[in-house]
Amino acid sequence: MTRLLLLEGNTAPKRARAHELGVRTSSEIYIEAIAAHYPDIALDVLNGADEGETIPGGRTWSDYAGFVVTGSALHAYDAEFAVTNQIEWLKQAAEAGLPIFGSCWGLQIAAVAAGGEVAYNPKGREVGFARKILLNDAGRAHPMFKGKAPVFDAPCIHYDEVIRLPESATLLASNAHSEIQAAVIPLANSEVWAVQYHPEFDLAQLVQLYTLYAEDMVTQGFFADMAELASYREKLEALAADPANAGLAWQLGVDEDVLDNRIRRAEILAWIEAKVLSR
């Protein structure tokens, strides 16, 4: 059986709080996304921010066909255990030669692990949708973007960004907010296919984000007040329930690159096809 190991990026208190609020954890979102297309792939979760955590079920690296790094609320430039331990887990997976995919946090800690740099983006938070992500020549030629348009939007939420890629890395995509929206980062005996946005997110997750960070959204000027945010969130929730509603899609400025599950998740699916199932 093909088996993947998912590195959950958040701490135990953060995961517990998510469950209290009825919000999926980062690894739970990934599990749903992958299982929707590959129900026969077994998925294990490693809570890499937790002390004393071990690979589940007494398994070893040789039991896995790939390693996935999920999102996180942590900062890759902090020296705390929850951060450095996850970077160490990533390095171990790379030493074992496992194919690696990462989104957001995954891109950031892969860059740090390979000698790059992450910092707070002075432009502030990119949230909801990363608009007009543009593939460069390397990105258009790379198999990760098979089935993806050369310019697309994608779900996202981040304050931090990679500001310097490792010398060995290849930049694949950028937008006006973050120059590094996708890259391939060689690491030890492997390479990391990684994106700054969240192809695993669905519209329901964005509704949850606008609920969790409602005060921030207003304070930071994304919405004039709570009433305006609530109206936007209601439209987003309605579109999540009825993705075929062309009127709502037009009002929210989204199309098939977000609404079509296979297109939105294309990077993850391409990685699984090219790097995992081919092993």
What does the pLDDT look like over 211-258, one tens digit per residue? 888 999 999 999 999 999 999 999 999 999 999 999 999 999 999 999
From CA 126, how far away is CA 134, in angstroms rounded?
16
From residue 86, give the alpha-carbon distance in Å to each of 29, 136, 140: 19, 30, 30
Per the CB < 8 A criterion, the answer to whether 23 and 87 are in contact is no
Structure pTM? 0.96
Per the CB < 8 A criterion, the answer to whether 90 and 100 are in contact is yes
CA neighbor of 23 nearest in space, from 159, 158, 212: 212
Mean pLDDT by 10 residues, the chain (279 residues): 97 92 93 98 98 96 98 96 98 98 98 98 95 98 95 97 97 98 98 98 93 92 96 96 96 96 98 94
